[in-house]
Amino acid sequence: MQTQTIATAISSLSGLLSEPKASFEGLTTLHGVREQISDLFDSYAAELRADPNTAPMWDAVAAALPHPSSATVATPSPDAHVAAFWREHSDQFTWDFVPMVVVHEIYIDWMRRRHPSVDQLTRLAFSRALRRILPGRGAWRYTRARIGALARVDEPLARGIKWRPGGSAATYGLRRQAS
């Protein structure tokens, strides 16, 4: 199954590389391919960690890959990680108002799983990065609101974090805009 997925990703990339200019469909396909490759990398890395006998295979992988100079290796910006996090999670929230402390905790957990070697942003830096990308990303806006009855409704994404609503003070967060 994974071999077929890699072949699909490669053929999708080949098709994109032959297009004369970028299109919406091409960008959508590229996003899907990037997610496929990221998921495959995660699963292969987990397989390699689980079986210590495969460790010598790293030498063969390193020999097969080109060695780019450090000047040509692009490091994703923190905003790119925040944008990827938001693309993956924005449609999954059930609450219409999500406090930033909750969104940040979910981001921290996601970063630990997806990018364990990358430093996570502080809540303030994360909030600023997310506010920069929100205007072009759909139905959410940054605002201040009271939690109210929100805590009585289940939020699956918030199940694994330690946050609990406290008091009736207004807090900053993301509000889903009416469509």
Closest by CA position to 140, among listed 103, 111, 114, 101: 103
58 and 89, same structural domain?
no
User: What's the domain range around 26?
Assistant: 2-64
CB atoms within 10 A of CB 113: 9
How many domains does the chain divide into?
Answer: 2
Asked if 150 and 95 count as a contact pair (C-beta separation under 8 A), the reply is yes
pLDDT in tens, 24-47: 666 666 766 677 677 666 666 666
pTM over 0.85: no
Task: Point out the domain boundary residue: 36, 64, 92.
Answer: 64
Bigger pLDDT: 64 vs 132: 132
pLDDT in tens, 88-121: 888 888 888 888 999 999 999 999 998 888 889 9
Angle at 72 between CA 70 and CA 78, to 5 degrees: 85
Question: Residue 97's Cα: distance from chain center in Å?
Answer: 20
45 and 119, same structural domain?
no
Model confidence at 1, pLDDT cuts 50, 70, 90, reads: very low
3-state secondary structure of 40: helix
